[in-house]
Amino acid sequence: MSLPVRALGSGSNVILKRYLDGLIIHVGLLGRSVVDETADDVVVRIGAGENWHETVLWAHENGYYGLENLALIPGSVGASPIQNIGAYGAELSDVIERIEVVHSGSLTTRSLLPSDCQFAYRDSIFKTEKGRDWLITAVDMKLSKTPTLNLSYPALEVAISSSEKSPQALLRAVIAIRKAKLPDPAAQPNVGSYFKNPIVTREKADALGARYPNLPQYSARGGAVKLSAAWMIDHLGWRGKGGHGALVAKEHALVVINKSAKYASQIIEFADEIARSVEAEFGVALEREPQVLGSDTPV
């Protein structure tokens, strides 16, 4: 019998339905090592089962810079390429050298280059039909031995005073901002951002900008524009509002908290209501960020 196979890391970005069909593999491969080094850079290889944030701290403490903006993102290293994790002006694809994978059907192994992975905003080939069957076993990242700072995100520039522009200060600032803004999933169950920030054409962004001058807009790949989904949800008064056993976090309008829902379908229904209201007001479709695994009925 051939079972569908899916990987699971720490489970921080999945919505689990009632019935999980097939085989779920928790990839727990550990290990962190330097596999290449020049005067300026190192390439580190990290086992898929390593914790992402602990890996950020390990790299930083060893003087390998470039991951500070991605501190405190929950989850495993193996899951990090799936949605090309990103935060505060940085994305994993900025540092990826290679990804080691094994095919869950044929057990063939491959070393994928970034050009194989179709990395985009919260997206990669691993979310598509073509890439879904690859299990990630290790991730290679190229990091700088020279302190480098990515302060492209405005709140970080503000948080770091000009006298202390160092990777240490950047790491502290990212951790402090995240702790202040994001509800702790251990205390208030959530998957982080429930929706992606929508990407629209320049024409659409200009039309929205004329009607809603405060709607934050950021430039995206290929001349497109990324809109703040949090702002639109907040503008419609959803922050702190609940339904179906779920609640939009008071701290951040993109975070949906499970208060008392028993089934994934309740969370999905609540979030769909939010998405419908955004579409009705702004003419923009919101896309769910976390992956839904399983089904509502036995298979």
Q: Which of 47, 66, 167, 192 touches ligand FAD by CB under 6 A?
A: 192
Residue 203: active-site member:
no
Nearest to 60 by CA among 32, 87, 83, 102: 32
Nearer to ligand FAD, 48 or 67 (CB): 48
Q: Is 190 in the site for ligand FAD (CB under 6 A)?
A: yes
- Please give the single-letter amino acid code of residue 73: I
Q: Is 191 in the site for ligand FAD (CB under 6 A)?
A: yes
Q: Determine the Cα–Cα distance for residues 32 and 50; give it in Å rounded to an integer.
A: 8
> Taking the mean position of all CA atoms in its chain, how far away is CA 48?
16
> Which one of 76, 104, 193, 228 is the catalytic residue?
193
Nearer to ligand FAD, 44 or 90 (CB): 90
Q: Is 75 in the site for ligand FAD (CB under 6 A)?
A: yes
Look up tokens 């950047």; give the residue.
170
CB of 19 to ligand FAD, least distance (A): 16
Q: Which of 47, 74, 114, 198 touches ligand FAD by CB under 6 A?
A: 74
Q: Determine the Cα–Cα distance for residues 193 and 253; give it in Å rounded to an integer.
A: 9
Q: Is 9 in the site for ligand FAD (CB under 6 A)?
A: yes
Q: Which of 42, 71, 96, 135 touches ligand FAD by CB under 6 A?
A: 135
Q: Which of 55, 69, 83, 258 touches ligand FAD by CB under 6 A?
A: 83
Residue 93: active-site member:
no
Q: Is 6 in the site for ligand FAD (CB under 6 A)?
A: yes
CB of 242 to ligand FAD, least distance (A): 18
- Strand 217-219 to 134-144 pairing: unpaired
Residue 122: active-site member:
yes
Q: Which of 4, 5, 10, 288 touches ligand FAD by CB under 6 A?
A: 10
Question: Does residue 50 contact residue 229 with C-beta atoms inside 8 Å?
Answer: no
Please report, as residue ranges, which positions from 236 to 295 form the binding site for ligand FAD (by CB under 6 A).
291
Nearer to ligand FAD, 83 or 228 (CB): 83
Please report, as residue ranges, which positions from 31 to 70 form the binding site for ligand FAD (by CB under 6 A).
48
> Which one of 50, 68, 100, 289 is the catalytic residue?
289
Alpha helices in 140-196, H assignment, sequence order: 154-159, 167-181
Q: Is 182 in the site for ligand FAD (CB under 6 A)?
A: yes
Look up tokens 């950020």; give the residue.
56
Q: Beta partners for 34?
A: 44
Q: How far apart are the first and last CA of the chain?
A: 14
Report DSSP letters for 25-90, one per residue: EE-----EEEEEE-SSEEEEEEETTSBHHHHHHHHHHTT-BS-GGGTT--SBTTTTTTTT-EETTE
Handedness of CA 238, 240, 246, 249 (dihedral sign): positive
Applying CB under 6 A, the site for ligand FAD has a residue count of 32
Long-range contacts of 202-207 (CB under 8 A, 24+ apart): 204/283, 204/284
Q: Which residues bind ligand FAD (CB under 6 A)?
A: 6-14, 27, 48, 73-76, 78-80, 82-83, 85-87, 126, 135-136, 182, 185, 190-192, 291
User: Among all residues, which ones are annotated catalytic?
Assistant: 122, 193, 289
